[in-house]
Amino acid sequence: MSKQFDDDWNYSGEIEFVEGDIYYYLGDVFENLQGRMTFDGVGFNPFLELTASTKIGDANINLGVYGPFDNPEWSFNSDQGYSESDILQLLTFNTRVSRKDFRQKVLKLKRRP
């Protein structure tokens, strides 16, 4: 870290994640966090190269985050061949939701009596 006069702080170096867990806000735990954050010495916008995994039902879900902190690319895949949409449904609802189920169950929650 460095700072000159009234300039912003600058960060340089690398943080390596060897093993760890991430607690997702809906209760899923992403395990086996691995990767690194690399700081280039200009402000605070590290480059991310991270992977983690979780299991929902029979599906092993893999998460990847790659790119600058302020605009990373996210990738999701599973050993079941689910699409990213299916994986996001699993992470959000803990199940895959058909269009019909979505209309009947999820949109019903938005209706007011």
Q: How many CA atoms lie within 13 A of 41 on its CB side?
A: 0
Between these two residues, 94 and 112, which has the higher pLDDT value? 94
Between these two residues, 27 and 50, which has the higher pLDDT value? 50
- In this structure, is residue 2 part of a structural domain? no
What pLDDT score does 51 carry?
93
What pLDDT score does 97 carry?
67
- In this structure, is residue 71 part of a structural domain? yes
Structural domain containing residue 48:
12-110
Instruction: Say how many domains are in the chain.
Output: 1
Distances (CA, A) of 13 to 1, 70, 94, 110: 9, 18, 38, 47
- In this structure, is residue 76 part of a structural domain? yes
What pLDDT score does 52 carry?
92
**Percent of the chain beyond pLDDT 70?**
77
- In this structure, is residue 93 part of a structural domain? yes
What pLDDT score does 88 carry?
87
- In this structure, is residue 1 part of a structural domain? no
- In this structure, is residue 60 part of a structural domain? yes
User: Exposed, middle or buried: residue 90 (CB in 10 Å: 0-12, 13-18, 19+)?
Assistant: buried
- In this structure, is residue 3 part of a structural domain? no
Token representation of residue 64: 């990847």
| Report field, pTM of the whole predicted structure over 0.85 | no
